[in-house]
């Protein structure tokens, strides 16, 4: 039994598989040179690892051209690059109230530049109605961007239906897959996704500082950034060829090697679906047990609908921050409290003014014993709070 129970996997999965750490270190020790800048053997070998990582992720996302898989610092970096490259003053964009600040803040910034932005609310179960997005589209709409799965309440959104609407309307559709890449099957073609943005340090089981986006073959954007690529250096503008059109400067080669190792580890574990089913088994048991604890309030949809192994709760009579501290200090249960960089979600479920919720997020290394310890820990915290609050547990809709 480990000294702690780690239930903050929606922030970053931990621990990382030993195979990932080992491959990263071995790669960097033996081939940690700058790929694509020259033709000596070590550089070519380093480039091969990058190409293998591009291919593995392209296959994972149902893409058709690995050169359309471009790397970035993380999903926030990819989303900023995309949004800044698509929108201009006078344009219109649509997003949702389920978004992380990686979408919200760039959109607020675009508003200041003269872009009109609509934020579509979610329903009482935590889902966005595709028809509500369709109703917001205008002739000036250039972009619809939404997350695939909420990092707070865990609901998986109907992006396939939204993608079909956008494709018919001729509007670029971008998906923030920070919470779903590696744990939910994604097919950019079947789901009509034009640009899929992802991060490497969550369910792809790579290191922090990695991410990127897959851009469908029909997408033709010019980036809002430019810089060195190692190819076509005489050009005064960014090369139009992919992946260099959207990659700038020296890549995080060690991190990308870790992403490749993460893909191999996922395959060795039986693939995305096998990992997801195992995580959801733990998450459902954990959530169901918390629903029976006096004074625990759970938010939004139950896990019988499309859901990630992520959910939010509060203990009546205690602020979320204090619950998190008690879980950590008294029980060694690691979680995340607050607004989770998604303030509009908390406005929708009524927890913004109480400074958010406690979030539990299960990962591939979560065990039955971890679930038991977390249940007991929450029950103990709820008992502590009973002296000031005797309410029964409830499920609150948005």
* Contact partners, residue 108, CB within 8 Å, separation at least 6: 117
CA–CA separation, 185 and 360 (whole Å)? 22
Closest CA to 42 of 55, 52, 29, 23: 29
* Residue whose pair of structure tokens reads 């690691």 in the numeric block: 334
Q: Please give the pLDDT value at position 394.
A: 54
Q: How buried is residue 90: exposed, middle or buried, by Cβ count under 10 Å (0-12/13-18/19+)?
A: exposed
- CA-CA-CA-CA dihedral for 387, 389, 394, 396, to nearest 10: -140
Query: Token pair for residue 59?
Result: 């296959």
- Read off the pLDDT of residues 374-389 as tens digits, 9 standing for 90 and up: 999 999 999 999 876 5
* Residue given tokens 């065990």 in the structure block: 367
Say how far apart CA 83 and CA 103 lie, in whole Å.
9
pLDDT in tens, 164-212: 999 999 999 999 999 999 999 999 999 999 999 999 999 999 999 999 9
DSSP 170: T
**Beta strands per DSSP E along the chain:** 5-6, 69-72, 92-96, 116-120, 141-147, 172-176, 195-199, 211-215, 296-299, 310-315, 333-334, 336-338, 357-361, 394-396
Tell me, what's the pLDDT at 396?
57
Q: Is 332 helix (H, G, I), strand (E, B) or coil?
A: coil
- Identify whether the C-beta of residue 137 lies closer than 8 Å to the C-beta of residue 171: yes
Going by DSSP bridges, is the β-strand pair 211-215/357-361 parallel, antiparallel, or unpaired? unpaired
pLDDT of residue 92: 98
- Residue 116 is classified by DSSP as E
CB atoms within 10 A of CB 37: 16
- Going by DSSP bridges, is the β-strand pair 394-396/296-299 parallel, antiparallel, or unpaired? parallel
Q: What is the pLDDT of residue 317?
A: 93
Is 90 exceeded by the pLDDT of residue 370? yes
pLDDT at residue 14, rounded to an integer: 97
Segment 283-320, tens digit of pLDDT:
999 999 999 999 999 998 789 889 999 999 999 999 99
For the chain, domains (ranges, CATH) are 5-14+271-396 (3.90.1150.10), 18-268 (3.40.640.10)
What would the mean pLDDT of 59-77 be, rounded to a whole number? 97
Reported confidence tier of residue 343, pLDDT bands at 50, 70, 90 = very high
Q: Which tokens sit at 69?
A: 């898989």
The pLDDT of 142-164, averaged and rounded, is 98
3-state SS assignment for residue 341? coil
**And the tokens for 212?**
């990127």
């Amino acid at each position: 039994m480990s000294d702690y129970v780690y239930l903050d996997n929606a922030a970053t999965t931990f621990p990382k598989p030993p195979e990932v750490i080992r491959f990263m270190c071995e790669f960097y020790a033996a081939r940690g040179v700058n790929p694509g800048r020259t033709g000596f053997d070590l550089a070519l070998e380093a480039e091969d690892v990058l190409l293998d990582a591009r291919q593995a992720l392209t296959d994972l996302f149902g893409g058709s051209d690995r050169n359309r898989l471009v790397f970035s610092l993380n999903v926030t970096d990819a989303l900023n690059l995309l949004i800044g490259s698509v929108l201009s003053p006078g344009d219109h964009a649509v997003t949702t109230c389920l978004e992380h600040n990686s979408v919200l803040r760039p959109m607020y910034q675009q508003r200041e530049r003269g872009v009109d932005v609509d934020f579509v609310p979610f329903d009482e179960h935590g889902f966005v109605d595709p028809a509500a997005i369709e109703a917001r589209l205008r002739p000036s709409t250039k972009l619809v961007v939404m997350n695939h799965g909420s990092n707070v309440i865990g609901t998986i959104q109907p992006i396939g239906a939204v993608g079909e609407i956008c494709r018919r309307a001729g509007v670029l559709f971008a998906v923030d897959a920070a919470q779903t890449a590696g744990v939910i099957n994604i097919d950019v073609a079947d789901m009509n996704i034009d640009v899929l943005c992802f991060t490497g340090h969550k369910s792809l089981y790579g290191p922090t500082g990695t991410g990127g986006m897959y851009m469908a073959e029909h997408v033709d954007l010019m980036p809002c950034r430019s810089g060195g690529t190692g190819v076509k250096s005489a050009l005064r503008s960014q090369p139009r060829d992919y992946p260099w059109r959207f990659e700038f400067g020296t890549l995080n080669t060690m991190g990308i090697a870790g992403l490749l190792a993460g893909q191999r580890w996922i395959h060795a574990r039986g693939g995305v679906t096998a990992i997801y089913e195992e995580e959801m088994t733990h998450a459902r048991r954990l959530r169901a047990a918390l629903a029976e604890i006096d004074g625990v309030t759970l938010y939004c949809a139950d896990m019988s609908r499309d859901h990630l192994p992520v959910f939010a709760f509060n203990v009546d009579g205690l602020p979320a921050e204090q619950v998190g501290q008690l879980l950590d200090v008294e029980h060694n249960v690691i979680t995340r409290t607050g607004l989770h960089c998604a303030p509009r979600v908390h406005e929708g479920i009524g927890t913004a003014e109480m400074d958010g919720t406690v979030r539990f997020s299960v990962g591939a290394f979560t065990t039955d014993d971890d679930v038991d310890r977390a249940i007991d820990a929450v029950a103990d915290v709820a008992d502590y709070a009973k002296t000031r609050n005797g309410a029964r547990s409830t499920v609150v809709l948005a």
